[in-house]
Structure 1
Amino acid sequence: MPTPRRISRPTTAFRPGGFQAVGGALAGTAAVVALTGCAAPKYQEHVCSRGEYPVLQVNGPGGDCVANGGEPPAGYTRYPEGEVPQQVNGKWDVYWSTRTLDEDGNVIDLPDVY
């Protein structure tokens, strides 16, 4: 019986070069993302829930959230305009963590005892 000179492969045969091309493309994409600084957006936690605004404790370290349209409870006041903290650890949240307002509306430093 004669030995065939050629053995033909089926057209669906495994071709190792195809995986190398896919791997290279994925590695290239990962490098572009890493070098350009593209990343998932940073999550920022809000000080109050939707439909609320933050208020500051007079002469104290506390704060609370009040429904929009409502008045602050006794012992609390609104933050000065333009200085309302919106995000936890944001500029104004950090600023007001060491200060408060007195009963006359003056900014005062919080004592270290708090």
Structure 2
Amino acid sequence: MRILLATVALTGVFMTGACSYQEAICGNGEYPVTTTEGGGTCVKNGEDPPSGYIRYPEGKEPKHVDDEWDLYWRDHRVPATAGTSTGSAPAGR
């Protein structure tokens, strides 16, 4: 009986813990960029996007897999004029 109770308790812990985990789009010290055709990569903070890539519009960057903006950008494309500021790359995102 004790084994059954312990198994049920551990199953509950693992199930609730799994629901709160969110995989990050980029690693620590990086920010996401995309192309106007879709697809993307991550760039180190303080660096400009590679050729052919643009930043997401400010405030509309996906942060975690399946978050609001990740889902949105799967069905929409970033306009070619988005993220084309004359400023430098984000430093502390």
Question: TM class, shorter-chain normalised?
Answer: 0.5 to 0.7
TM-score (norm 1): 0.54
- Secondary structure in 1 aligned to 2:63? coil
Aligned residue in 2 for 1:87: 64
Mapped to 1, the partners of 2:58 and 2:27 lie a distance apart of 19
Gaps of 5+ in 2: 83-93
Q: Does the alignment pair 1:75 with 2:75?
A: no
Larger Rg belongs to: 1
TM-score norm. by structure 2 comes to 0.65
Task: Give CA-to-partner distance per residue, 1:14-70, whole Å, 9 cap, x none.
Answer: xxxxxxxxxx22222334455xx432522533222222110121x211211111111
Relative CO higher for 1 or 2, CA cutoff 8 Å, sep ≥ 6? 2
The yes-or-no answer on 1:44 pairing with 2:22 is yes
Larger relative helix fraction: 2
Cα deviation per residue 1:73-102 (whole Å; 9 max; x = unaligned)?
Answer: 233221122321122233321211111222
Partner of 1:101: 78
- Please tell me the root mean square deviation across aligned C-alpha atoms, in Å: 2.3
Q: Give the SS at the match of 2:43.
A: strand
**Higher strand proportion (structure 1 or 2):** 1
- 1:72 and 1:26 mapped to 2: Cα distance? 54
- SS of 1:26's partner is helix
Assess, with a 3 A threshold, how the Cα gap between structure 1 residues 82 and 102 changes in structure 2: closer, same or farther. closer
Q: Which runs of 5 or more residues in structure 1 are unaligned?
A: 1-23, 106-114
2:41 and 2:8 map into 1 onto residues whose CA distance is: 45
Specify the code of the residue in structure 1 equivalent to 2:29. Answer: G
SS of equivalent to 2:77:
strand
